[in-house]
Amino acid sequence: PTADPTAERVRFPHDFGWGAATSAYQIEGAAKEDGRGESVWDTFSHTPGRTRNGDTGDVAADHYHRWADDLDLMRDLGLRSYRFSISWPRIQADGTGKPNQRGLDFYKRIIGGLHERGIAPMVTLFHWDLPQALQDDGGWENRDTAHRFADYADTVFRGIGDQVPVWLTINEPKTVVQNGYLWGHHAPGRQDADAAYLVAHHLQLAHGLAVRALRATGFDTRIGPALNLHPCYPADDSPAAAAAATLHDGYENRLYLDSILTGAYPADVLADLGPDSRMAKGIRDGDLETIASPVDLLAVQYYTPLYLTGNGNTVTRWPTSEADWQQIYPQGMYDILTRVTRDYGPVPITVTENGLPCPDTLGPDGTVDDAGRIAFLRDHLTAVHRAIADGVPLESYHVWSLLDNFEWAEGYDQRWGLVYVDYPTQRRIPKRSAHWYRQVIRDNGL
């Protein structure tokens, strides 16, 4: 069929950063190589009952050995930006001390290889793989971990800081708080609300200290936080639902956004936690100034909206993906992007994750048909485009994920990649969505 020439094309800004994202523990494998120490996710995934099928990241997508082919794959896709993370225990096996050169060299090769292929690296310092040795010392409940993180950040910056145009500090502090400490589905598997919000404060502090560490190097490179934001809507017209949605928004979004961008924790959340909470007692003079150290950009990750009833429960309003927590609602992308710009001013934004798992199996003809992913990405990119048109200073967008990978507690059952990974052979097969995305990038739009 010929395209309707009168149909409006969705064109993105010149130089838009079309990208894809991954994280270290989810793709690298090589868990014991070149001096890498253990992380909390090695411990957690090797604990019986913690992950689906007992899956671990020991081998994952074997990216540690296949990185050069994977970079070629990115070039063939036409990516302009690639977001990945550094494994802290590859740099400091037990979370402190002088850097492991073999670990730094691995990331140097990737960064150099990206530049050679015309792809901008965007690097996250921490995507949940805390060195186990630091967990043994209390992990994020221990304020000292924030200072250990700042030392690690400083070490990485002094090694490769100027080769990376955009640094991201901590991936989704909220997920560590909620899944790691509130519900226990993620490492370290705790269920302790009082601990969880102290952890939130220490993660925010760690973020601010890392921003300061980068500034201290004098490098002309940018840095920001990576927050997963959930638009929170009342499930009905009742005042109780409206109030529940507002408080929930405090815990899901403002706790992180306000502290970094306005230098204060939201009063409603602090009041809800109470003056005797471990968090309230853990905030020291000067902490909020550190947390609010000016950032250059804000990385937003959007997957799903939340709907709150009057008694504070969440309900499902829209069809879900293969992940039962994910309701497919593209308008939520528009709502959260425009809201951030409205409430926090024109800070540059990058979308660092957006995507879904699809039941995309390898067909007999050797292709993978993930039509559902194409529809999802098309609809969400249309929402992104509307947000840009309405004034959101959005510079890049990254699909989660480049490759099928270790989906944390869900193991390898959920496939989130643009590229299929045949785990027994580690063969990479671009899915239909990958071919589609390559064309979107070529056309600079939909």
**Which are the contacts of 364, defined by CB distance < 8 A and separation ≥ 6?**
none
Write each residue from 336 to 355 as x if it is in contact with ligand GBH (CB under 6 A), else as -, in one continuous string. -----------------x--
Q: Is 265 annotated in some ligand binding site?
A: no
Closest CA to 281 of 178, 175, 195, 190: 195
Query: Residue 295 corresponds to which tokens in the numbers above?
Result: 């950032």
**Residue 85, interface with ligand GBH (CB under 6 A)?**
no
**Residue 42, interface with ligand GBH (CB under 6 A)?**
no
Cβ atoms < 10 Å from Cβ of 372:
17
Among positive and negative, which fits the CA dihedral 135, 138, 142, 148?
A: negative
Q: How far apart are CA 444 and CA 425, in angstroms?
A: 34
Amino acid at 162: D
The answer for 33, left when phi > 0, alpha when psi is -120 to 50, beta otherwise, is beta
Of 28, 141, 172, 252, which is the active-site residue?
172
Segment lying near ligand GBH (by CB under 6 A), choices 46-54, 72-80, 147-155, 168-176: 168-176
Segment lying near ligand GBH (by CB under 6 A), choices 62-70, 160-168, 171-179, 188-196: 171-179
Q: Is 172 a catalytic residue?
A: yes
- How many CA atoms lie less than 13 Å away from 193 in the CB half-sphere? 6
**Residue 316, interface with ligand GBH (CB under 6 A)?**
no
What values do phi and psi take at 120, rounded to 5? Answer: -80, 125
**Residue 155, interface with ligand GBH (CB under 6 A)?**
no
What values do phi and psi take at 318, rounded to 5? Answer: -125, 165
**Residue 407, interface with ligand GBH (CB under 6 A)?**
yes
**Residue 404, interface with ligand GBH (CB under 6 A)?**
no
Q: How far apart are CA 230 and CA 253, in angstroms?
A: 7
**Residue 175, interface with ligand GBH (CB under 6 A)?**
yes
Q: Is 141 a catalytic residue?
A: no
CB of 70 to ligand GBH, least distance (A): 17
Identified binder of ligand GBH from the candidate list 82, 400, 412, 420, rule CB under 6 A: 400
Q: Is 423 annotated in some ligand binding site?
A: no
Residues of span 367-396 touching ligand GBH by CB under 6 A = none
The answer for 396, left when phi > 0, alpha when psi is -120 to 50, beta otherwise, is beta
What values do phi and psi take at 304, rounded to 5? Answer: -155, 150
Of 8, 353, 395, 410, which is the active-site residue?
353
**Residue 171, interface with ligand GBH (CB under 6 A)?**
yes
Query: How many residues sit close enough to ligand GBH to count as binding (CB under 6 A)?
Result: 15
Which residues are annotated binding-site positions for substrate? 26, 127, 171, 303, 400, 407-408
Q: Which residues are catalytic?
A: 172, 353
Give contact residues for ligand GBH (rule: CB under 6 A).
23, 26, 171-172, 175, 179, 183, 185, 228, 303, 325, 353, 400, 407, 416
